[in-house]
Structure 1
Amino acid sequence: MNETLTTADGRPVLRIERRLAHSPEKVWRAVTEPEHLSRWYPFRAAELDLRLGGKIRFDDGAGTTLDAVVTELDPPRLFAFSTRAPAEMTRESDDLIRFELTPEGTGCLLVFTHIFDDRYAAASYASGWQVCLDALEAVVDDRPVEPGFPVAAMHDRYVEKFGLNGGVYSDTADGWVVRFERQLTQPAERVWALLAGEGGTAAGAGGAVPPAFTNDRVPAGAVTSAKEPELLEYAWESGGNTAGRVRWELTNGTGHGARLVLTQTGPGELTAERHTALTAWKRRITRLAEELRDLPRA
């Protein structure tokens, strides 16, 4: 099994290889026939017109449908389709899902590819597809498919493997900004409660910052803005004076968890503090991810 994350035409490309002990013809049926596909794919295939340009409709059984169009077809070697998210989910372009089967001895090599837009969702996608491909293997093995969910540890291993745990900085007219974005494995309410501590409520504007929202290298001043469980912003200090702002934002993400965006601003005369911020916040967010892994699955 081999997983990689690359970029093509500015879009992330997740590629997973699996060697299966079955012929391409048998695996082909599992990925193109609705009764088999529905046993392991995240959505039930309610409709599948197996021809170039043919329509596919997936249904999660809870009122959400997903439309797709067949974009490549070469039985029993290649099957690909583009998916369009439901109307309530806005995104710039469609995802592409691709299955390529190559004979290897008495079995075959499956190369699964997912092209999408949200790079920081890659760990959620990779861990989710691993669970699905385990189920696919059970289908072609004629074994019962056991319900499964991606575990937080698997997700965070992909965060590390794909280099999604680092921050970036940019220069602005007023100085600089350090920015981290990370998909977390728990919803915003649980993340907030963990950060805010006992009682789960952070101080309002002018109050003290709960320690878990800070790190040991960036001295915290007073809270400047707070909205539970979405936002906490506070001043950070250098030499006893306000130097910039630290801002925690939690929004809906992928994989049933919150998306964290953390930024720290600073003035041009303190450019050396950028490296301090990058190192300290990476360590703090990594520790937060570890703490979230210890919580029960939401």
Structure 2
Amino acid sequence: MNKASDETLSVVVERDLPHPPEKIWRALTQPQLIQEWLMANDFQPVVDHRFKLSADWGAVDCLVLAVEPHKTLTYTWDAYGLESVVTWTLTPTGTGTLLRMEQAGFRPDQRQAYQGAKGGWPQFFTALEQVLARIE
């Protein structure tokens, strides 16, 4: 039997954003801002903090795994049998920040969840960019 990690798929989205890492970090970690581009939540950027992302279709159970302010944020993303990990990486560039999101852990039999994430994350990123354009 192969290790699960050999068989799982990841969804990766990268965007070059014209904003400093500190500003993007706020949008990734402040509950009222997260709600505007992702879902209602009770997030806190604290390792081992359990939080829920709630939408009209249901909820995602999450646990913060790693917090490195303005650099990296990692949390579990468990919903409907999907046990995955979302990692945000912020890399400063000459014009702003390269924001990378990887959601890892889709099993081959979770094709629907995988396709949903592939379609969903770019929309979340677009909403995030709108929030970033609006806040100071």
TM-score interval w.r.t. the shorter chain?
Answer: 0.7 to 0.9
Q: 2-side partners of 1:15 and 1:65: how far apart?
A: 22
State the structure with bigger RCO (CA 8 A, min sep 6), 1 or 2.
2
Identity among equivalent pairs (%): 25
**Of 81, 89, 99, which aligns to 2:88?**
99
Deviations 1:147-169 (A, max 9, x none): xxxxxxxxxxxxxxxxxxxxxxx
Q: State the 1:17 CA deviation.
A: 1.0
Q: State the 1:39 CA deviation.
A: 0.6
Q: 1-side partners of 2:59 and 2:121: how far apart?
A: 19
Deviations 1:124-152 (A, max 9, x none): 32121111101101110118xxxxxxxxx
Q: 2-side partners of 1:137 and 1:64: how far apart?
A: 24
CA shift in 2, pair 1:127/1:29, >3 Å: same
Q: Provide the secondary structure at the position in 2 that maps to 1:9.
A: helix
**2:63 matches 1:69:** yes
Q: 2-side partners of 1:117 and 1:108: how far apart?
A: 27
Q: 2-side partners of 1:63 and 1:130: how far apart?
A: 18
Q: State the 1:106 CA deviation.
A: 3.6
Given residue 40 of structure 2, which amino acid in structure 1 is its aligned partner?
A: R
Q: Which residue of 2 aligns with 1:138?
A: 130
Q: 2-side partners of 1:133 and 1:140: how far apart?
A: 10
**2:113 matches 1:124:** no
CA shift in 2, pair 1:14/1:64, >3 Å: closer
Q: Which residue of 2 aligns with 1:271?
A: none
**2:108 matches 1:114:** no
Q: Provide the secondary structure at the position in 2 that maps to 1:94.
A: strand
Q: State the 1:118 CA deviation.
A: 4.1
Describe how 1:136-215 pairs up with structure 2 within 5 A: 136-142=128-134
**Of 49, 53, 64, which aligns to 1:58?**
53
Q: State the 1:102 CA deviation.
A: 0.4
Q: Provide the secondary structure at the position in 2 that maps to 1:139.
A: helix
Structure-2-length-normalised TM-score: 0.85
Q: 1-side partners of 2:120 and 2:129: how far apart?
A: 15
- Number of residue-to-residue matches in the alignment: 129
Tell me, which stretches of 5 or more residues in structure 2 are unaligned? none
Tell me, which stretches of 5 or more residues in structure 1 are unaligned? 1-6, 144-298
Structure with max Cα Rg:
1
Alignment RMSD: 2.0
Q: Provide the secondary structure at the position in 1 that maps to 2:35.
A: helix
Structure-1-length-normalised TM-score: 0.40
Q: State the 1:8 CA deviation.
A: 4.6
Q: Which residue of 1 aligns with 2:77?
A: 83
